[in-house]
Amino acid sequence: MSVDDKDIKLLWGKAANRCSMPDCRRPLVAPSSDLPSTVIVGEMAHIVGEKNSGNSPRGLSSLPCEERNRYTNLILLCAHHHTVIDKDEKNWPVEKLHAIKRDHELWVEERLGESVDFELQIYHDFIELVSIAFYLENWEWLCDCLFRQIMDVDFPDGIYQLDFELFRALLPGRIPEFEEALQNLVKRSRTYLDYYMSDAAIVPGDSRIMNKKRYKYVSFENLGERDRLLEEYDFWQRNCTMLLFNLVKALNDFSDIVRKKIKPTFFIRKGKFCVHDFMGLMGGSLTETWHIPKRYFSDEELVEPPKKSEK
């Protein structure tokens, strides 16, 4: 699948035709001996590999293949650095490449654009981090997976990175409503993620994190223990759903503030972010439905799993 012309122009334009690596930034359009022609020496590298395969650098991801040739998943590099990141995946993970791309585009704005409002730029950086961490370009796909307790293996890294960036950030206090909404979103997402991960694990040979389903490994001869673990799994599912609704409510609150105070066009076409129940699991209707959370579930509404009986 080829890269759309719009994505090509956006990538090259925002990178100012230069390698995005901070220790390089060489021009990627060189003069040719056959004047007035020029030679393009830059390469559009994939952040998540183009193919969902272990043979494609950083390719094992649940990011849909049709989204892998979009601007959001491409970084402009010279041929040397393209080779470097693809030969050494461990030292050039997805989140690091997103950060390099973001920093380079800011560098371009500072030098070629109008004077930068650094306080607002901090806010814009966090808006971009949120967009990446929550896969907002592909929100319907992500949220449907999370609703069915199928988590992409890269999702936790994005949330942890967002939490770390907020922890160390020197927020200017210029727009308190934005900072409060951002902190609330990070808090709700960490609460959801920590609870989900408390009883989940990476599926061997897969790119998904799913519940351990320990009840499956107990024989029917021990029916009492099997039933207890099955009930524990049901509690975990129910709480994950409630905490996911809290996350989505926080995401909408954050988006409302962003549109009102900073960036009116922020995902305006999508409008409200929904909980997408593609299979109609909620209510047992088996009909595709969407839900926009109206309130936060309280801690008191979360249920406790059954305790293991004393032997």
Residue 306 has pLDDT above 70, yes or no: no
Query: Rounded to the nearest 5 degrees, what angle is found at the Cα of 258, between the Cα atoms of 256 and 262?
Result: 140
Residue 262 has a pLDDT of 92
Average pLDDT estimate for 98-123: 81
Give per-residue pLDDT as tens, 82-107: 999 999 988 999 989 998 998 998 88
Residue 191 has pLDDT above 50, yes or no: yes
Residue 311 has a pLDDT of 40
Which residues does 311 contact at the CB level (< 8 Å), separation at least 6? none
CA dist., res. 174 & res. 95, Å (int): 28
Residue 310 has pLDDT above 60, yes or no: no
Residue 251 has a pLDDT of 97
Average pLDDT estimate for 283-311: 74
Please state the separation of Cα 119 from the chain's center in Å. Answer: 24
Q: Where are the domains of the chain?
A: 1-116, 133-311
Q: How confident is the model at residue 286 (pLDDT cuts 50, 70, 90)?
A: low
35-49, 192-206, 209-223 — most confident range: 192-206
Least confident span in 14-28, 152-166, 266-280: 266-280
CA dist., res. 220 & res. 212, Å (int): 18
Q: How confident is the model at residue 35 (pLDDT cuts 50, 70, 90)?
A: very low
Q: Is the peptide bond before 36 cis (omega within 30 degrees of 0)?
A: yes
User: What mean pLDDT is reported for the chain?
Assistant: 86
What spatial distance separates the first Cα and last Cα of the chain, rounded to whole Å?
60
Task: Indicate yes or no: pTM above 0.75.
Answer: no
Give 1 or 87, the one with higher predicted confidence.
Answer: 87
Residue 221 has pLDDT above 80, yes or no: no
